[in-house]
Every structure is written in structure tokens, then in C-alpha cells.
């Protein structure tokens, strides 16, 4: 089994080939673009494992941007005690759906 742990859009993801992942919106990429992730923190291929300090230098992840979308709505409700007032707001995080094409050791 081949997988990698990468850092993308401020978070860490455990990724595998031919899988879809939702990252925080990547403003520099349009749907259909091919992008590369080079900040690989860990790479495992079969029995061998490489841990970066902080990154593994010779691993490149190639991916295709599928589409931009919005996440599930989160409701924020604030209430002031003893004042009989409150506010209700919602938020939908902008996301980018990415398909991992390959994890390559260069």
C-alpha cells in the first residue's frame, strides 16, 4: 500500500492514489488544472517508509483539480445572558476538490 502525509492549505492530509480530497480553497488553481504537492511529510511504499525533516525531498504528488465547492453549513449562535438577545449566523467554507493522480518517488 502506497500513501503519503502532505501539508496543503494549512492542514495535514493522509492521501492515497486515485482518491478525492477536499482542501481549503486553492485560489491559484482552476478546475481541470494539474498541480503538484511537494510538502510531503511522510511517504510509505510497501515496507519502506521515509520520514522528512521536515519534508521528504524526492517525492512529488501530482493531482487534478476537479471543482470548487462549498462545505457543509455551520450555524453560529451567540446569546447574551439576561438580555434576551442573540444572533444567528451561518458559514460555508470554500473548498477545492482534488483527485490524487500519482505519488512518485523521483
pTM: 0.84
User: What residue numbers bound the domain in which 78 lies?
Assistant: 2-105
Q: Sign of torsion, CA 7 12 16 19? A: negative
**Domains held by the chain: number:** 1
CA distance 39 to 52: 9
Tens-digit pLDDT profile for the chain (106 aa)?
899 999 998 899 999 999 999 999 999 999 999 999 999 999 999 889 999 999 999 999 999 999 999 999 999 999 999 999 999 999 999 999 999 999 998 8
Amino acid at each position: 500500500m502506497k500513501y503519503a502525509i502532505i501539508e496543503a492549505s494549512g492542514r495535514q492530509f493522509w492521501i492515497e492514489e486515485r482518491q478525492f480530497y477536499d482542501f481549503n480553497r486553492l485560489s491559484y488553481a482552476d478546475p481541470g488544472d494539474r498541480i503538484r504537492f511537494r510538502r510531503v511529510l511522510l511517504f510509505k511504499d510497501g515496507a519502506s517508509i521515509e520520514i522528512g525533516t521536515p519534508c521528504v525531498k524526492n517525492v512529488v504528488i501530482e493531482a487534478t483539480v476537479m471543482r470548487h465547492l462549498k462545505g457543509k453549513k455551520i450555524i453560529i449562535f451567540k446569546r447574551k445572558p439576561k438580555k434576551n438577545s442573540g444572533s444567528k449566523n451561518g458559514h460555508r467554507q470554500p473548498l477545492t476538490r482534488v483527485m490524487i493522480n500519482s505519488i512518485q518517488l523521483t
